Amino acid sequence: MFALTHSGKRWDISISAQAWFCAPATPVRTPTAQQKKASTMVSRVIPVDIFDLVIFGGTGDLARRKILPGLFRRFCAGQMQPEARVIGAARSDMDSEGYRAMVREAIDEFGAGVIFAPEQLDQFLAQLEYVSIDALGEQGWAELADLMAGENRVEAYYFSVAPQLFGDIAERLQKWGMADVDAKIVVEKPFGRNLETARALNKTLATYFNEDQIYRIDHYLGKETVQNLMAVRFGNMLFEPLWNSQYVDHIQITVAETVGVGGRGEYYDQSGAMRDMVQNHLMQLLCLIAMEPPARFSPDAVRDEKLKVIRALDPVPNYHIVRGQYQAEPCNEAKNPGYRTAVGNPRSRTESFIALRTQISNWRWAGTPFYLRTGKRLAARSSEITVVFKDTPHSIFAEDAGRHRNVLSIRLQPNEGITLGVTIKEPGPGGMRLIDVPLDMSFAETLNPDDVEHVDAYERLIMDVIRGNQTLFMRGDEVEAAWAWTDPIIEGWEARNDVPKPYDHGSNGPTDAGELMRREGREWRKVVQ
């Protein structure tokens, strides 16, 4: 059941293979029997096996903001069993009690995202340990090895540290007997800064671990909608026959942020939007939207298809790229400075915004442009994939009836959901006038908000690590192929010494980005919340 809305009125629509039925709907916010049924369908939580998860960098920003609150939510949901242990590991000198106090504060500060009883937090904290360890020295490793010895549990090591430490940690895990064939390692982005460094990192990790033990995180793959994209594409007959260059005019992928570089200025200025966002997150979304149906929903079947997409991507010529740098907020420069001030580099040529047009050279997509766009300090925080279908081959309606294209939009944030714009007759006696209305499947509204909204990508992915499911993690060859496509683009603008175009704080990016599409008779979707 979908909801179709126009001018505040609403119809519920049942779709069957034979017919679409329209009936007057119940008020918008009242949960329907369908919603109630859906909510019972999604609330099934299967506990994962008992595990020991070591978080290298357990005192860091990512651990405090995402990993530990996420684990607490899984604990509250009953997915993490009382015998499981989480072991924080970092240089800071503290004992397990001190670590528990730090994690309590982190959950206070960043929010659990669920309602919980105080004793639940006490129980969760009791499952935490801490080891003061130096990834570059010998301190703490014997203690960690002792903690991990003996019991038959799932063992996972989360490398939530700077990538320069990945190799040292892997080496020491082996030296101290923790890199056995059942151990799993989770590595954070960035995975290299070009093909050469990514290859070297893959090689280093491969010295100590097999590929099926390595979980390269791209948290975009853990988002509910991203997985739903596969369910919608491959679980329905409706879309796949139209999913090609014959019916699709173009595809847009936008990841817009309202924040600036914040405290990450120094790191970001070495990286930029292309390395930080396009090479990983946007490429992964592109793969899922463009890949062929895998033979089955298994890690290598899915990743093989994604890899084929990356390898079929055309090189991107300079005239299909627009880079930008955000300007200060007028009258509020002290709070929201421009990019160059924020990164402390008045001559910076790093982009905080990029828009580009690419194509996939294969039978399905030849001739269909893919437009990718991401940036900071834009008008809204919004991530969306939009599939714009072609015009009908011939319109039977009068010209003034209007003509609309079907647009399928897949929202990753905020309000995760999928909307299909369909053309209907404007209700009323005004003759045959066509309007575009959304068939809206908002997950939070259709399903139970308690189940959907609070499962963060990180906690979903960590549970997949424990279950040993690599489907939503990048394989080494995928990462290398993505860099092989990205490198020449970056090298091109570096060789030309290109300067990014300025764009206004709170805008849709540089005006040239609009031109990139307008010159082909197309428009970006507006960046709106």
Catalytic amino acids?
281
The residue within the footprint of ligand NAP, chosen from 4, 38, 103, 135 (CB under 6 A), is 135
Residue 381 binds ligand NAP (CB under 6 A): no
Identity of the residue numbered 70: G
- Determine the Cα–Cα distance for residues 377 and 331; give it in Å rounded to an integer: 16
Residue 60 Cβ vs ligand NAP, minimum distance, rounded to whole Å: 2
Asked if 188 interacts with ligand NAP (CB under 6 A), we say yes
**Of 63, 130, 140, nearest to 95 (Cα)?**
130
Instruction: DSSP letter for 49, please.
Output: P
Rounded Cα–Cα distance for residues 418 and 92 (Å): 44
- What is the C-alpha to C-alpha distance for residues 71 and 518, in angstroms, rounded to an integer? 46
**Strand ranges for 164-235 from DSSP E:** 184-187, 214-216
Pairing type for strands 214-216 and 434-442 reads unpaired
Residues 17-56 binding ligand NAP (CB under 6 A) are 56
The one segment of 32-40, 88-96, 121-129, 170-178 that binds ligand NAP by CB under 6 A: 88-96
By the rule CB under 6 A, 101 interacts with ligand NAP: no
- Do 101 and 57 touch, CB atoms closer than 8 A? no
136 binds ligand NAP (CB under 6 A): yes
DSSP 100-146: HHHHHHHHHHH--SS---HHHHHHHHHTEEEEE--TTSSTTHHHHHH
Residue 160 near ligand NAP by CB under 6 A: yes
Determine the Cα angle at 342 with ends 330 and 353, to 5°: 80
Q: Which residue lies nearer to ligand NAP by CB, 12 or 134?
A: 134
Q: Binding to ligand NAP by residue 59, rule CB under 6 A?
A: yes
Tell whether the torsion through CA atoms of 271, 276, 280 and 284 is positive or negative.
negative
Give the residue with the Cβ less far from ligand NAP, 31 or 137. Answer: 137
Site for ligand NAP (CB under 6 A): which residue of 13, 32, 42, 134? 134
Minimum CB–partner distance for residue 520 and ligand NAP (Å) = 34
CA distance 129 to 131: 7
Number of residue whose CB is nearest ligand NAP:
60
By beta-carbon proximity to ligand NAP, the closer residue of 310 and 457 is 457
CB of 265 to ligand NAP, least distance (A): 13
Query: Is residue 290 a contact point for ligand NAP (CB under 6 A)?
Result: no
- What are the structure tokens assigned to 53, written together? 């998860």
Tokens, residue 257:
């942020």
Is position 98 an interface residue for ligand NAP (rule: CB under 6 A)? no
Give the binding range for ligand NAP (CB under 6 A) out of 90-98, 427-435, 454-462, 512-520.
90-98
Q: Which of 10, 153, 189, 199 binds ligand NAP (CB under 6 A)?
A: 189
| Binding residues vs ligand NAP (CB under 6 A) | 56-63, 90-92, 133-136, 160-163, 165, 188-190
